[in-house]
């Protein structure tokens, strides 16, 4: 475990930053609005990918870690430690944010559906946006034909778009650890199970779908390299 400790610490820091800054943006009344908060979520992910991607791969998300493992892009032996680091980072970020805000009524960015969104719709939204997120991650992070330098921009942009469009409905979690942190800090677990299961299933399907269409074989008759 010791030789992999830098990876786990990088996952902890990245997950911590996600909650501290992004959920902080939705907790502190700074007049950002839905657009601004969505941009903060995307920017935090982009910055932390650039800062730690070369250390740990910058997952910051148990759903991503599990999906990579299932598609043979990550070692199963490291999955529990990644998930633990991600979860602890999000919980620590939520508790620190709570101590700074010091308001027992605040939700600390808790992911919960609005009254007009049913549980079925919640699961469908979280599954779908996590599917797209993992599809993008698989494309830019596992395919050598993609422009690797722009991976952080693509992934951060996908997170920002999802947060801006679906954040007002479900919080646009896409990340079990991101939902776990505020849930533990506020002691509110009402919808947590759905925010854990739906993103994991969405990420798995997104990774599997990309693996089916990646078209690795190039042929002389097709310069673009598509099968």
Percent of residues, the chain, with pLDDT higher than 90: 83
pTM over 0.75: yes
Mean of the per-residue pLDDT values of the chain: 92
Comparing 146 with 151, the larger pLDDT belongs to: 151
Q: pLDDT tens digits for 4-13? A: 999 999 999 9
Smallest CA-to-CA distance from 12 within 78, 76, 88 is with 88
CATH number of 2-213: 1.20.1080.10
Q: Is the pLDDT of residue 55 over 60?
A: yes
Smallest CA-to-CA distance from 122 within 188, 193, 67 is with 193
Q: Is the pLDDT of residue 115 over 90?
A: yes
| Mean pLDDT confidence for 51-61 | 96
Q: What's the pLDDT score for residue 1?
A: 61
Q: Is the pLDDT of residue 129 over 60?
A: yes
Q: What's the pLDDT score for residue 103?
A: 87
Contact 144/160 with Cβ under 8 angstroms? no
Distance CA 35, CA 20 (A): 18
Percent of residues, the chain, with pLDDT higher than 70: 92
Q: What's the pLDDT score for residue 75?
A: 96
Q: What's the pLDDT score for residue 2?
A: 73
| Mean pLDDT confidence for 136-146 | 85
- Provide the residue ranges of all domains of the chain, joining segments of one domain with +: 2-213
Q: What's the pLDDT score for residue 216?
A: 67
Q: What's the pLDDT score for residue 222?
A: 37
Alpha helices in the chain (DSSP H): 5-17, 24-27, 33-56, 62-70, 79-101, 119-142, 151-170, 176-186, 192-213
Q: pLDDT tens digits for 171-213? A: 999 999 999 999 999 999 999 999 999 999 999 999 999 999 9
């Amino acid at each position: 475990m010791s030789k992999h400790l830098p990876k786990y610490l990088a996952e902890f820091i990245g997950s911590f930053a996600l909650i501290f800054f992004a959920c902080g943006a939705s907790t502190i009344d700074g007049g950002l609005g839905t657009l601004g908060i969505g941009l903060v979520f995307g920017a935090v992910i982009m910055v932390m990918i650039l800062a730690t991607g070369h250390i740990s791969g910058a997952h910051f998300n148990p759903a991503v870690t599990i999906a990579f493992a299932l598609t043979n892009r990550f070692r199963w032996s490291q999955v529990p430690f990644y998930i633990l680091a991600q979860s602890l980072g999000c919980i620590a970020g939520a508790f620190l944010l709570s101590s700074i805000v010091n308001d027992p009524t605040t939700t600390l960015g808790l992911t919960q559906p609005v009254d007009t969104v049913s549980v079925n719709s919640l699961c469908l939204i979280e599954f779908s946006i996590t599917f797209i997120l993992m599809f993008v991650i698989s494309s830019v992070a596992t395919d050598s034909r993609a422009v690797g330098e722009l991976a952080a921009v693509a992934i951060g942009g996908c997170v920002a778009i999802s947060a801006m469009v679906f954040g007002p409905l479900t919080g646009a979690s896409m990340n079990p650890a991101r939902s776990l942190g505020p849930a533990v800090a506020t002691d509110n677990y009402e919808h947590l199970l759905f925010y854990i299961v739906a993103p994991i299933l969405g990420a798995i399907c997104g990774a599997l779908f990309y693996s089916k269409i990646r078209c690795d074989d190039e042929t002389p008759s097709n310069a673009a390299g598509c099968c």
